[in-house]
Amino acid sequence: MSDEVYAAFKRVVQNRKKPKVEEMIDGYTGFLFLDKRGKPMMPYQWEKCFQHVVEKYNRIYRVQLPKITSHVCRHTFCTNAAKRGISVETLKYLMGHTDISVTSNVYTHLKLEDVQREMERPERVEKEMKKCAK
């Protein structure tokens, strides 16, 4: 998790009302995003939030956003994590997949530029090491 994301999550927790009763779902508590009633936000609530934000953006800007869902965010998270070098095995665990091929073939969307950058990485590391040695 980047420092920026961590700071954003920390602000969410600091700025929200403390729930009267801490909800437990499947043995889990401490949910990050709560609705107006202090309950953990459900998928349909996220869908409505995304829909509202996209509609507002599209009224203002010429370049239109497509439909964004929480499921799209899962794909984005997985792809960005893969680009940062997180192993497919770790991503499989984080995504809750039982089959690694789902993680690598369905959720990870790398492009030619990503592959080229990865192929150039050893060369960049070698150049940096030479600089440090001087």
Return the HEC string of 102-132. HHHHHHCCCCHHHHHHHHHHHHHHHHHHHHH
Mean pLDDT for all residues in the chain: 86
Q: What is the pLDDT of residue 106?
A: 84
Q: Where are the domains of the chain?
A: 1-41, 42-134
Q: What is the pLDDT of residue 89?
A: 92
Q: What is the pLDDT of residue 134?
A: 67
Q: What is the pLDDT of residue 124?
A: 65
Q: What is the pLDDT of residue 119?
A: 73
Query: Which portions of the chain are predicted below pLDDT 50?
Result: none
Q: What is the pLDDT of residue 55?
A: 97
Question: pTM for the complete prediction?
Answer: 0.64
**How far apart are the C-alpha atoms of 100 and 40, rounded to whole Å?**
29
Q: What is the pLDDT of residue 101?
A: 87
